[in-house]
Structure 1
Amino acid sequence: MAEEVDYEALPPNASLGVNMLAGALAGITEHAVMFPIDSIKTRMQVFATSPAAVYTGIGNAFTRISSTEGMRALWRGVSSVILGAGPAHAVHFGMYEAMKELAGGNAAGNQWLATSLAGASATIASDALMNPFDVIKQRMQVHQSEFRSVFTALRVVYQKEGLAAFYVSYPTTLTMSVPFTAAQFTVYEHMKKLLNPSGDYSPVTHMIAGGMAGGVAAGVTTPLDVAKTLLQTRGTSNDPEIRRVGGMMGALRIIWRRDGLKGFGRGMSPRVLTHMPSNALCWLSYEFFKVAIREQ
């Protein structure tokens, strides 16, 4: 009978390969499971000109999309996420664990500064890889999208708008993702130590800590996510002002002029609803895969 792995005895500074593979598997799992809610979030954030593309809530959006376009529409673009999420999350978690070890985040106590630095470094690297896939995903998610294939979308967007279309939202993504990731990892590590001070392998702890971390981080960064969506979907808009917007400040000004303060909260409910269970699942998967891979 194989000897049971002692989770506490596993070194916190596992090999880079273990952390990257665990992160890749966790990322694919996270995004694929919660994708329909993410699709609803994207549609609620887009400034649509057609009444048919304006949704008042998660239930309203789900009912109307499924009844008029079919359930498959809620999964449109998931292949882009799967293609990008594996490599991006591998880089994300690999960088996170490497930087946390380098900054002293594995020492005793609540090393919030080290984990924040590690989380921010991780997202800078992973978002550079993921941003083009995210643009394609959102182009496929919007109401009446012309795209059904990731590679068709990639080719058409590049031909019509050039390489800049895939990175026009990158500064906004970083402005949002760095505090998002720093908050997420800080809350996660704090809650994990608070709920499980012994350090034993505890799936329930990883789920609760991950869910709370995801919900907090998603809520506070929603305004920037609205701006990111506007930038990433600008090529699908019939509005000349939106099509010409060139950066984060321009997107924020459009949101403020057209919708006021409430515009920065567009899609907050599905965003939080997506990130709480997806982060819980992501951390649960990540911690599980780390143990499983180390055991092998």
Structure 2
Amino acid sequence: MIKDTMADHAPPQEIDYESLGGGSLTSNLVAGAFAGVMEHVVMYPVDAIKTRMQIVNPTPAAMYTGITNAVAQISSTEGVRSLWRGIASVAVGAGPAHAVYFGTYEAVKQKLGGNVGSEHHPFAVATAGACATIASDALMNPFDVIKQRMQVHGSTYESIADCARSVYRSEGFRAFYISYPTTLAMTIPFTAIQFTAYESLAKVLNPTRRYDPFSHCLSGGMAGAVAAAMTTPLDVIKTLLQTRGTSQDNRIRSSKGLFDAAKIIHEREGYKGFFKGIRPRIVATMPSTAICWTSYEMAKYYLRLNSV
């Protein structure tokens, strides 16, 4: 602990980050919300490209050979602003969802003894990450559906409210959650891999566990890249389910869930179809998770510092 006589003179970097404890629920919620908004907004255009590249049976005008080609083609035919279409859905949903995400993560990790001592606790970290995902995705899934509907080529929705009303009228409330089981099948291992990799890398790169933006950023980016690559097949399936209402293909429009969507992808494009968009997914995820973890650790640090 920091001695009272030194509190007014010690520079911030000298404060033992880990000695500040797990933090209050409020500080974790605020830090998580800040991290979530920063993560999604900064890398949104790359995420939009990833969504378009994962569409099964796209129209000729929406076929892209890579990230650079996609940016050039979209900019010349639709305008560069179209890469930001649907961002309001993320801005509205990401804050609360990530507040729940990190709040749940810290609470469960604390309960399972993940903050005890300086030892590594992979089981506690992975379990906490999985619980955080289940809670946050329940809140975020409808916003993600709206976001992807607005990201696809030819989207005519004027706002997130217009999109939400249209989807509800034509497909019912179920459309907002038909991809939820698939989302969990993807994000639970994604989160478990990401959190475990992050904590493991942080132990190596920052063994003293003091506040260190560089190690937080590097650990977060590397952890995100690994998790993104390993879960891309499930992300492709999720995209099909969340955008099925925009397809002209009756088979896709009537897809009923994870296994049905997987069957369609395999029939149409083979196993390579499950890795469509892997490059923009990694490109988007690596910096976004780096930003997310750095923002989270920074917000958490200063919120806890002020409470010392």
Same fold (TM over 0.5): yes
Q: Give the C-alpha shift of residue 117 in structure 1.
A: 0.2
The match for 1:175 is 185
Q: Give the C-alpha shift of residue 110 in structure 1.
A: 1.3
The match for 1:194 is 204
The match for 2:40 is 31
Q: Give the C-alpha shift of residue 291 in structure 1.
A: 1.4
Tell me if structure 2 keeps the 8 A contact 1:7–1:291: no
TM-score, structure 2 normalization: 0.94
* Matching residue's letter, 2:241: L
Q: Deviations over 1:216-257 (max 9, x none)?
A: 000000000000000000000000000000100000000101
What is the alpha-carbon distance in structure 2 between the residues aligned to residue 66 and residue 186 of structure 1?
38
What is the alpha-carbon distance in structure 2 between the residues aligned to residue 2 and residue 261 of structure 1?
60
The match for 1:79 is 88
Q: What secondary structure does 2:157 align onto?
A: coil
Q: What secondary structure does 1:198 align onto?
A: coil
**Equivalent residue for 1:42, pick from 51, 55, 59:** 51
Q: Give the C-alpha shift of residue 146 in structure 1.
A: 1.4
Q: Please tell me whether residue 278 in structure 1 is matched to residue 272 in structure 2.
A: no
TM-aligned CA distance change 1:167 to 1:211, over 3 Å: same
What is the alpha-carbon distance in structure 1 between the residues aligned to residue 111 and residue 71 of structure 2?
45
* Matching residue's letter, 2:198: Y
Aligned residues: 296
The match for 2:168 is 158
Q: Deviations over 1:60-103 (max 9, x none)?
A: 11110011111100000110001000000000000000000001
What is the alpha-carbon distance in structure 1 between the residues aligned to residue 19 and residue 76 of structure 2?
50
Bigger radius of gyration, 1 or 2? 2
Q: Please tell me whether residue 91 in structure 1 is matched to residue 92 in structure 2.
A: no
What is the alpha-carbon distance in structure 1 between the residues aligned to residue 270 and residue 114 of structure 2?
41
The match for 1:116 is 126
Tell me if structure 1 keeps the 8 A contact 2:18–2:210: no
**Equivalent residue for 1:135, pick from 130, 135, 145:** 145
The match for 1:268 is 278
Unpaired segments ≥5 residues, structure 1: none
Q: Deviations over 1:265-292 (max 9, x none)?
A: 0000000011100000100000000112
Q: What secondary structure does 2:134 align onto?
A: helix
Off by >3 Å, runs of 4+ in structure 1: 1-5
Q: Please tell me whether residue 230 in structure 1 is matched to residue 237 in structure 2.
A: no
Q: Deviations over 1:47-69 (max 9, x none)?
A: 14411111111111111001111
Tell me if structure 2 keeps the 8 A contact 1:210–1:279: yes
* Matching residue's letter, 2:244: R
What is the alpha-carbon distance in structure 1 between the residues aligned to residue 289 and residue 58 of structure 2?
33
Q: Deviations over 1:14-69 (max 9, x none)?
A: 00110010000010001000000000000000114411111111111111001111
* Aligned Cα root-mean-square deviation (Å): 1.2
What is the alpha-carbon distance in structure 1 between the residues aligned to residue 260 and residue 18 of structure 2?
51
User: What percentage of aligned pairs have identical amino acids?
Assistant: 57
The match for 1:60 is 69
Q: Give the C-alpha shift of residue 2 in structure 1.
A: 5.3
* Matching residue's letter, 2:65: T
* Matching residue's letter, 2:240: L
Unpaired segments ≥5 residues, structure 2: 1-6
TM-aligned CA distance change 1:293 to 1:238, over 3 Å: same
What is the alpha-carbon distance in structure 2 between the residues aligned to residue 210 and residue 25 of structure 1?
16
Q: Deviations over 1:206-225 (max 9, x none)?
A: 01100000000000000000
What is the alpha-carbon distance in structure 1 between the residues aligned to residue 103 and residue 60 of structure 2?
44
